[in-house]
């Protein structure tokens, strides 16, 4: 980086003219020395500039590692852990004169960590455009399919309507869907593994071998 030298300039300097100021700058430059004992890690022949009379605390390269905040940049997603499904509400776009208004609606997730999503109007209920207020408290499941780098909003598809917000069944189904939990009914093959003679109780011998956590 460039080294900027600030020099005090008063009336006496003005009287002595430009030559005196040039001498001062020359002296300041001589105070700067290259620290040949330290080199940048992994790069041969690169020296650090050391200013003897300057505050060393302002140079982050001289600070201990525990005082530095390391930063990084995401370059690739190896595995998509999130289900890309979210629970939320749909509403019309604010700009009614835009071309996007004729094609998409806005999906607002309940979880604010998930971005807002453009969803096709074809996925919405048929009377949504004419009566959007009827769906203001209706929960929907949306799945994100794309999120372009130059857009603040993702693109997605509405999967299904869950029901009214605040009710236990739709709220529970939304949470299970977001976390990818399979809550479908068990198959007959699985149910056959359970005891068939009901009511079933644990035998005393089995209970003696178990740790009671009730």
- Residues 170-183 have pLDDT tens digits of 999 999 999 889 88
Q: Is the pLDDT of residue 81 over 90?
A: no
36 or 198: which leads in pLDDT? 198
For residue 54, is pLDDT > 60?
A: no
Residue ranges of domains in the chain = 85-179
**Residue 187: predicted pLDDT:** 92
Is 160 strand, coil or helix?
strand
Whether omega before 29 lies within 30 degrees of 0, making that bond cis, reads: no
**Out of 3.30.1330.60, 3.40.50.720, 2.40.50.700, 3.30.530.20, which CATH number does the structure's domain 85-179 have?**
2.40.50.700
Strands (E) in 74-200, as ranges, are 85-91, 104-109, 117-120, 138-146, 154-164
As a whole number of angstroms, the distance between CA 214 and CA 212 comes to 6
Q: In 3D, which of 134, 80, 128 has the Cα closest to residue 106? A: 128
- For strand 117-120 and strand 154-164, is the pairing parallel, antiparallel, or unpaired? parallel
Q: How far apart are CA 163 and CA 135, in angstroms?
A: 10
CB 194 within 8 A of CB 186: no
DSSP-assigned beta bridge partners for residue 51 = 32
């Amino acid at each position: 980086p460039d080294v900027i030298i600030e020099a005090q300039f008063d009336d006496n300097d003005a009287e002595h003219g430009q030559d005196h100021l040039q001498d001062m700058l020359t002296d300041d430059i001589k105070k700067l020395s290259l620290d040949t004992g330290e080199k940048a890690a992994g790069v041969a022949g690169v020296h650090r500039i050391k200013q003897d009379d300057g505050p060393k605390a302002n140079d982050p390269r001289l600070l201990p590692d525990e005082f530095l905040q390391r930063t990084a940049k995401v370059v690739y997603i190896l595995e998509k852990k999130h289900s890309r499904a979210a629970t939320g509400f749909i509403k019309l776009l604010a700009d009614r004169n835009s071309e996007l208004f004729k094609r998409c609606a806005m999906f607002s997730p309940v979880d604010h960590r998930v971005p807002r999503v453009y969803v096709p109007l074809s996925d919405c209920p048929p009377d949504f455009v004419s009566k959007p207020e009827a769906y203001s408290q209706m929960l929907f499941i949306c799945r994100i399919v794309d999120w372009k780098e130059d857009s603040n909003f993702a693109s997605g598809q509405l999967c299904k309507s869950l029901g009214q917000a605040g009710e236990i069944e739709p709220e529970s189904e939304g949470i299970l869907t977001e976390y990818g939990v399979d809550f479908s009914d068990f198959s007959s093959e699985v149910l056959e593994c359970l005891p068939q003679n009901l009511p079933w109780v644990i035998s005393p011998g089995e209970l003696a071998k178990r740790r009671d956590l009730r």
